[in-house]
């Protein structure tokens, strides 16, 4: 019995409830094998990383400033 027929025999004896997990496992396994064989890993340039870090840092600074302003003036605004 070769490997393919052994896998098919095992699949045929599985409970029906296991078939979705088998399908997901087969799909993920195929994607992993494809990613290993593919030479292009989708590397991004350093400038893209710098831009993303700057954008995230800016968003954090704006959120911190708004939080500080809200905390400072919370008592004054609540009386309106």
How far is it, in rounded angstroms, from Cα 5 to Cα 13?
12
Mean pLDDT of 23-46: 79
Mean pLDDT of 71-79: 77
Name the domain count of the chain.
2
Question: Are 7 and 31 in a shared domain?
Answer: yes
Buried b / exposed e along 6-27 (16+ C-beta atoms within 10 A): eeeeeeeeeeeeeeeeeeeeee
Q: How confident is the model at residue 63 (pLDDT cuts 50, 70, 90)?
A: very high
Q: Which domain holds residue 17?
A: 3-37
Mean pLDDT of 27-46: 78
Question: Are 54 and 76 in a shared domain?
Answer: yes
- pLDDT confidence of residue 67: 92
Contacts of 14 (CB under 8 A, 6+ apart): 22
Question: Are 56 and 75 in a shared domain?
Answer: yes
Q: How confident is the model at residue 5 (pLDDT cuts 50, 70, 90)?
A: confident
The encoded tokens of residue 14 equal 């599985």
């Amino acid at each position: 019995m070769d490997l393919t027929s052994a896998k098919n025999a095992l699949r045929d004896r599985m409970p029906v409830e296991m078939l979705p997990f088998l399908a997901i496992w087969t799909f993920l396994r195929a994607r992993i094998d494809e990613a290993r064989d593919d030479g292009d890993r989708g590397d991004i340039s350093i400038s893209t990383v710098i831009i993303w870090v700057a954008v995230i840092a800016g968003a954090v600074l704006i959120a911190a400033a708004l939080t500080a302003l809200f905390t400072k003036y919370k008592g004054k605004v609540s009386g309106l």
